[in-house]
Amino acid sequence: MNRVHIKTYGCQMNERDSEAVAAMLRARGYRIVSQEDDCDILLLNTCSVRDAAEQKAIGKAGNVLARKKKNPDFVLGILGCMAQNRGATLLDQLPDVDLIIGTQKFHQVPDYLDNLRAARDAGVPLGETIVDLAEEAGSQNTIRDHELAEHQVSAFVSIQQGCNMDCAFCIVPKTRGDERSRPMDDIVAECRTLAARGVKEVTLLGQIVTSYGRRDYVHTGGVTPFVQLLEKVHALEGIERIRFTSPHPRGFKQDLVEAYGRLPKLCGYVHLPMQSGSDRILRAMNRPYTRERYREIVDALRAVRPDMYFSTDVIVGFPGETEEDFAQTRELFEACNYDMAYVFKYSIRTGTPAATMEGQVSEEQKEERNQTLLAVLARNSERRNATLVGSVEEVLVEGPDKTGRRFTGRTRGNRVCIFEAEARLIGSLVPLKITRASVSTLYGELVLSGVTSDL
């Protein structure tokens, strides 16, 4: 009973948590398998951002438990945000689950699995479900181990956990707890180790990544702790590109804007959640900025890097959102000219202030508004990509594409590229002449020492 498969739902933070758990389990002697059918232990790392995400994980767990009836030694664990949110109440629907582990206890998973294995080997029934949702001081420091694939050139680095923002629609403060930052030296050491293992690009992760260290480090010369961290990672030999997500607009002070002009490894791509373009709705959401301030940030970043790429998060159908509110959102959405966006239909999350607000918007209106913004986004992205045809972009070669016949990589602006190459170029920053573009993908030919390879 040592073959483990981890299925991850949700965001990049969840992906990073799952990777850290996999690395801890491998160090303990477990085998991490890529196919669910090959495992003795299935761990579902879950998401709670929307109810649909929770229902998907619950449905999956229900289907898997049929396997447990045939094989009582099979172990099913539910980890992460849904586990934290629902806790032991999950047993009302899933009474045979073996583990329910919250977001501050990922590092305890190897110990709990060891206990289950020992009980099985001793012929002792597994007994009651293990439920651990407790807060733990320093738990943010346990997400540090990496399970890197062969020739992996990019990696996520968790720098901060939790959120103190209390947005009216969001359940993250409940599932992830208060803001907690890792020591700066530990993060830099982790990035240095990744560089030594061949990683060229790191993405710094946090619930509100720009809030990093604000209660732990002093602002030096007007430079926030987050920008101080960017500077230290930027100085590391071997790290060629730096990205981060997910920030908050209030974190884009002048020092961060200026960092894009003086730190060349900081990629010209910004994920800047808008949520709404209506000041009235922003206040109802408890988002501490205005549409004017948001637009100032976008303009300031484009002034530093005119070719900056932007993505965003938008919620349509927030309680009380009128046609005029949505018109203001659409106006700002069009003005910012996003290259990528995650447009969400508002989903009631029990326990959040928005869940009981008056003026709940119909599903039909949400869907209509959602489609309106997606259509704007498609036009924006197609237009931006079309302007790149004929240009030469720096691309980090990541490896074979899904077909295995060509290679894939990303520009500094986070655009996916497909091209012909050789395996020896994996991990290299290469010039790519863009020959064709779709809404989401660029196609091109490498320009190497005056020799081109046609696609």
Classify residue 222 by burial, with Cβ atoms within 10 Å: 0-12, 13-18, 19+: exposed
* pLDDT over 90 (residue 15): yes
User: What pLDDT is stored for residue 382 in this prediction?
Assistant: 94
Which tokens go with 323?
A: 């046609």
| Residue 182 three-state SS | coil
- Give the confidence band of 126 by pLDDT, cuts at 50, 70, 90: low
User: What pLDDT is stored for residue 100 in this prediction?
Assistant: 98
How far the first Cα of the chain sits from its last, in Å, is: 47
Q: At what angle do helices 225-234 and 254-262 cross, to 10 degrees?
A: 10
Mean pLDDT of 140-166: 96
What is residue 245's DSSP assignment?
A: E
Strands 407-411 and 416-419: antiparallel
CA dist 210 and 398 (Å) reads 27
Q: Which of 64-68, 193-197, 266-270, 319-323 has the lowest mean pLDDT?
A: 64-68
* pLDDT over 60 (residue 334): yes
Q: Which of 123-132, 209-218, 438-447 has the lowest mean pLDDT?
A: 123-132
Mean pLDDT of 418-439: 96
Per-residue model confidence as pLDDT tens digits over 337-386 = 999 999 999 999 989 999 999 999 999 999 999 999 999 999 999 999 99
Whether the Cβ atoms of residue 348 and residue 354 lie closer than 8 Å to each other: yes
Write down the pTM of the prediction.
Answer: 0.95
* pLDDT over 90 (residue 120): no
Mean pLDDT of 227-234: 98
Per-residue model confidence as pLDDT tens digits over 385-395 = 999 999 999 99
Classify residue 341 by burial, with Cβ atoms within 10 Å: 0-12, 13-18, 19+: buried
Whether the Cβ atoms of residue 42 and residue 58 lie closer than 8 Å to each other: no
Among all chains, which residue has been given the structure tokens 């501490």?
288
User: What pLDDT is stored for residue 359 in this prediction?
Assistant: 96
Q: Which domains does the chain have, with CATH numbers?
A: 3-132 (3.40.50.12160), 148-267 (3.30.750.210), 280-387 (3.30.750.200), 389-453 (2.40.50.140)
For 405, half-sphere exposure in the C-beta direction (CA atoms, 13 angstrom radius) is: 2
User: What pLDDT is stored for residue 117 in this prediction?
Assistant: 87
CA dist 12 and 31 (Å) reads 23
User: What pLDDT is stored for residue 449 in this prediction?
Assistant: 58
Mean pLDDT of 257-269: 97
Taking Cα atoms as reference points, which of 155, 161, 150 lies closest to residue 194? 155
Distances (CA, A) of 50 to 287, 344, 358: 19, 9, 19
Cβ-based neighbour number of residue 373 at 10 Å: 20
Cα–chain center distance at 421: 29
Distances (CA, A) of 309 to 5, 132, 270, 340, 433: 36, 41, 6, 8, 19
Q: Cis link prior to 246 (omega < 30° from 0)?
A: yes
For 441, half-sphere exposure in the C-beta direction (CA atoms, 13 angstrom radius) is: 9
- Give the confidence band of 140 by pLDDT, cuts at 50, 70, 90: very high
Taking Cα atoms as reference points, which of 333, 417, 319, 320 lies closest to residue 374? 333
* pLDDT over 80 (residue 124): no
Mean pLDDT of 171-178: 94
* pLDDT over 60 (residue 400): yes
**φ/ψ (deg, to 5) at 416:** -75, 135
Mean pLDDT of 324-340: 97
